[in-house]
């Protein structure tokens, strides 16, 4: 039976974790229940995140979420057909998107400690008034783990866990220690991860695809007086050397790989966030102040196939952010206003090493060294309850972005300024007992960043990018509408949307090639795209111990480039999952699932030229798996997972590496402190 038919047959009595009436913050920048929000929101909980190698891998557990993977140490979220800098990535309200975020899939959301995550929230839509530039397809935010204690005496709790996986021959050791009282709370955590070469379906191991990672996190919060809390959060994550497998093996339509060497060495993310929260403060308002710093290190070692020259790159972004908000909530009105200021400085250098002589000489860097990007915005959003059964949300944002590019060899200095308005309007109405209708209209933008304006160097698909400073903002209008049902045993959400995306920045060929044979391209505002789709999720409690979950997403996109109409780039096919969960005793729980996707044969010209994508289309796939969880005595927990039981060889559409084949994973956890985290 085709995967789509099987999924739809099961979907009438299925579930998605986001449909539980969870409390979330991303859709409104303040605490709210999902049932009080007009925007569709998906939630992935801490347990689902910690079962994955990377935080971003868990996005495929969310309705409307899709993960593209270029190499096992990286992954990119795709929401409503958008990826990279068209999705705003955040952590606790502060931006992760920086000046060197690509418009293609990016790896930076993978550089987060799994031990720091309480949940991942995915807002599908254009919440433009609250978030501004980059929130075209939606917002993906990590809400961090923040322990709470109900005692005035210092208490401790935590866990140590070990994970083993046969498909990637991976091992992970992670530990968390929480300590605190009702007045102060702290959390220390760390993890080390080592992966071998990936085993794909049929037993083949892809070499080299293994990598290592290490991460740590420290958090402290103190309530200095009633209603006033200070907190500081520090995180670090490093992958010392991660090979990019799709550059090192021949792609579709190629007889040889694009590169003899290609590794990220290292990829790092360092982050500190100082926050002050005051309830019923000045003017009787609730205030938040956050000051954050993030450093991304994206160093690379590359060598074109059989070339006598090796390139070494050092790329770094230092992003500083300030967020101040004030708001108030009454029985009928809930409003929030604020300002955002971001400053991002890019440093970049590149050298060429002659393999015959060993000499090292500086050459033009990937980005203009010393490039500077600054953003400023003011915003406000309010929700008004029109009557007991309806509410209206409206917001507006004014923002400006300035990018200053210093002169480089053959390229003069340039300063690009953009000023944009963004806004949204949402309606939520009760249709009767347990039913809600939601509708949203948003218009947003994405300002060109340093990557768009100033990149010089190799791109995936055997391309070489040259800078273009004559770029303007991309603009989008998105509308979605749908229904929710939340009964005692059944919950579901069905949303349809249309996204009109204008002045998209895309790579266009210049008709020239490099001496090494790469096509020379540059970015231009040359595309228009229209995305339409349907997102479905549901949950059904079959009995006291048995429940069924499912989610399904259908996305269809078309684009126009230079007047030619074609399918949009890298659009995911119809896909989703069905999962049956049993929790028959206090000690034992079990799950079985089917995940998969239909074939994707709607390809753009760019897709057909991409060596990561089969020019005849990506075949459909389905995989079956299961898990048994055992809560042992003495706070020992064990989890055994078996996935892709048929050892199916397949590739997620747009990815640069095949998915894991048959795999068995074991997790052993020891909790302490009187309760399981």
Interval 508-551: pLDDT, tens: 888 888 887 888 888 899 899 999 999 999 999 998 899 999 99
Q: Residue 270: inside a domain, yes or no?
A: yes
pLDDT at 347 over 90: yes
Q: Residue 83: inside a domain, yes or no?
A: yes
pLDDT at 588 over 70: yes
Q: Name 357's Cβ contacts closer than 8 Å, sequence gap at least 6.
A: none
Mean pLDDT for 130-151 is: 92
Task: Answer yes or no: are the C-beta atoms of 192 and 213 closer than 8 Å.
Answer: yes
Provide the number of structural domains found in the chain: 1
Q: Residue 159: inside a domain, yes or no?
A: yes
Q: Residue 479: inside a domain, yes or no?
A: yes
Task: Answer yes or no: are the C-beta atoms of 578 and 548 closer than 8 Å.
Answer: yes
CB neighbour class for 181 (10 Å; exposed up to 12, middle 13-18, buried from 19)? middle
E strand or H helix that includes residue 669: strand 663-672
**Count of beta carbons in the 10 Å neighbourhood of residue 432:** 7
- Alpha-carbon gap, residue 156 to 149, rounded angstroms: 9
Q: How confident is the model at residue 427 (pLDDT cuts 50, 70, 90)?
A: very high
Handedness of CA 500, 503, 509, 515 (dihedral sign): negative
CB neighbour class for 110 (10 Å; exposed up to 12, middle 13-18, buried from 19)? buried
> What pLDDT score was predicted for residue 2?
41
* pTM recorded for the entire structure: 0.92
Continuous H helices in 13-83: 46-50
| Pairwise pLDDT comparison (486 vs 5), residue with the higher score | 486
Q: Residue 677: inside a domain, yes or no?
A: no
Q: Residue 420: inside a domain, yes or no?
A: yes
Q: What is the mean pLDDT of the chain?
A: 91
How is the chain split among helix, strand and coil, in percent rounded to 5?
10, 60, 35
Residue whose C-alpha is closest to residue 140's, from 64, 192, 199: 64
Q: How confident is the model at residue 14 (pLDDT cuts 50, 70, 90)?
A: very low
Q: How confident is the model at residue 11 (pLDDT cuts 50, 70, 90)?
A: very low
What SS3 state is found at 14?
coil
CB neighbour class for 324 (10 Å; exposed up to 12, middle 13-18, buried from 19)? middle
Q: Residue 187: inside a domain, yes or no?
A: yes
Q: What are phi and psi of 231, to 5 degrees?
A: -145, 155
Task: Count Cα neighbours of 338 within 13 Å in the Cβ-side half-sphere.
Answer: 26
| Pairwise pLDDT comparison (30 vs 9), residue with the higher score | 30
- Alpha-carbon gap, residue 88 to 130, rounded angstroms: 11
Residues in the chain: 677
**What CATH number is associated with residue 618?**
2.40.170.20
Interval 46-92: pLDDT, tens: 999 999 999 999 998 888 989 999 889 999 999 999 988 899 999 99
> What pLDDT score was predicted for residue 315?
97
Q: What Cα–Cα distance (Å) separates residue 17 from each residue in 119, 594, 648?
A: 11, 16, 27
What's the farthest any 2 CA atoms get from each other in the chain?
Answer: 78
What is the share, in percent, of the chain residues with pLDDT greater than 90? 75
pLDDT at 482 over 70: yes
Q: Residue 196: inside a domain, yes or no?
A: yes
Identify whether 608 is preceded by a cis peptide bond (ω within 30 of 0). Answer: no
Beta strands in 129-210 (DSSP E): 138-144, 155-165, 170-180, 184-195, 198-199, 205-206
Residue whose C-alpha is closest to residue 422's, from 448, 393, 399: 399
Q: Which two tokens stand for residue 145?
A: 């783990």
Q: Are strands 457-459 and 463-466 parallel, antiparallel or unpaired?
A: antiparallel
Interval 440-452: pLDDT, tens: 999 999 999 999 8
Interval 637-668: pLDDT, tens: 999 999 999 999 999 999 999 999 999 999 99
Task: Count Cα neighbours of 369 within 13 Å in the Cβ-side half-sphere.
Answer: 11
Q: Which domain holds residue 604?
A: 3-672
Q: What Cα–Cα distance (Å) separates residue 602 from each residue in 253, 559, 570, 614?
A: 18, 12, 9, 11
Interval 380-393: pLDDT, tens: 999 999 988 899 99
- Alpha-carbon gap, residue 142 to 119, rounded angstroms: 6
pLDDT at 17 over 80: no
């Amino acid at each position: 039976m085709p995967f789509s038919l099987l999924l739809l047959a099961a979907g009438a009595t299925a579930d998605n974790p986001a449909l539980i009436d969870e409390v979330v913050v991303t859709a409104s920048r303040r605490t709210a229940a999902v049932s009080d929000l007009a925007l569709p929101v998906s939630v992935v909980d801490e347990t689902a995140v910690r079962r994955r190698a990377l935080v971003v891998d868990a996005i495929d557990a969310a309705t409307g979420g899709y993960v593209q993977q270029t190499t096992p140490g990286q992954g990119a979220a795709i929401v409503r057909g958008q990826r990279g800098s068209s999705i705003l990535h955040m952590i606790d309200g502060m931006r992760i998107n920086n000046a060197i975020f690509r418009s293609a899939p990016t790896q930076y959301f993978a550089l987060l400690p799994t031990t720091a995550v309480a949940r991942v929230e995915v807002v599908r839509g254009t919440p433009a008034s609250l978030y501004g530039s980059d929130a075209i397809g939606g917002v993906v935010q990590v809400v961090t783990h923040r322990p709470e204690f109900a005692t005035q005496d210092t208490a401790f709790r935590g866990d140590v866990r070990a994970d083993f996986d046969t498909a990637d021959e991976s091992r992970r050791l992670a530990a968390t220690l929480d300590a605190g009282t009702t007045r102060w709370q702290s959390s220390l955590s760390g993890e080390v991860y080592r992966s071998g070469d990936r085993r794909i379906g049929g037993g083949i191991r892809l070499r080299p695809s293994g990598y290592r990672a290490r991460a740590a996190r420290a958090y402290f919060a103190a309530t200095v007086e009633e209603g006033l809390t200070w907190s500081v959060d520090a995180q670090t994550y490093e992958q010392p050397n991660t090979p990019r497998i799709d550059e090192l093996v021949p792609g579709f339509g190629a007889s040889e790989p694009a590169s003899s060497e290609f590794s990220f060495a290292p990829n790092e993310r360092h982050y500190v966030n100082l926050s002050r929260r005051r309830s019923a403060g000045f003017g009787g308002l609730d205030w938040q102040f956050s000051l954050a710093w993030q450093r991304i290190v994206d160093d690379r070692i590359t060598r074109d196939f059989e070339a006598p020259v090796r390139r070494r790159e050092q790329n770094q972004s230092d992003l500083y952010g300030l967020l101040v908000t004030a708001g108030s909530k009454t029985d009928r009105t809930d409003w929030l206003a604020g300002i955002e200021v971001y400053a991002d400085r890019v440093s970049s250098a590149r050298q060429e090493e002659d393999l015959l002589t060993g000499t090292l000489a500086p050459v033009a860097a990937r980005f203009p060294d010393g490039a500077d990007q600054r953003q400023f915005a003011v915003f406000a959003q309010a929700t008004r309850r029109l009557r007991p059964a309806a509410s209206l949300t409206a917001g507006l944002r004014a923002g400006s972005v300035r990018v200053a590019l210093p002169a480089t060899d053959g390229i003069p200095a340039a300063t690009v300024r953009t000023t944009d308005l963004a806004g949204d309007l949402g309606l939520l109405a009760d249709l009767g007992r347990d039913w809600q209708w939601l509708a949203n209209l948003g218009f947003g933008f994405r300002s060109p960043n340093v990557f768009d304006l100033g990149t010089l160097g190799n791109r995936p698909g055997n391309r070489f990018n040259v800078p273009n400073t004559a770029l303007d903002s991309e603009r989008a209008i998105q509308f979605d509408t749908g229904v929710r049902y939340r009964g005692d045993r059944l919950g579901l959400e069905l949303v349809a949307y249309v996204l009109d995306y204008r002045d998209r920045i895309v790579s266009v060929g210049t008709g020239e090639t490099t001496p090494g044979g790469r096509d020379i391209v540059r970015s231009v505002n040359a595309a228009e795209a229209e995305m339409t789709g349907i997102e479905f999720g549901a949950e059904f409690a079959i009995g006291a111990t048995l429940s069924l979950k499912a989610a399904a997403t259908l996305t269809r996109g078309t684009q126009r480039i230079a007047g030619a109409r074609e399918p949009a780039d890298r659009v995911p096919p119809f896909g989703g999952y069905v999962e049956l969960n049993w929790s028959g005793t206090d000690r034992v729980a079990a799950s079985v699932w089917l995940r998969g996707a239909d074939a994707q044969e709607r390809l753009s010209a760019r897709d057909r030229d991409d060596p990561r994508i089969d020019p005849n289309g990506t075949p459909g796939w389905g995989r079956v798996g299961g898990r048994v969880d055992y809560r042992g005595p003495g706070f020992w927990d064990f989890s055994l997972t078996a996935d892709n039981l048929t050892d199916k060889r397949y590739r997620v559409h747009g990815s640069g590496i095949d998915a894991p084949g048959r795999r068995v994973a074991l997790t052993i956890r020891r909790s302490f402190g009187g309760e399981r985290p």
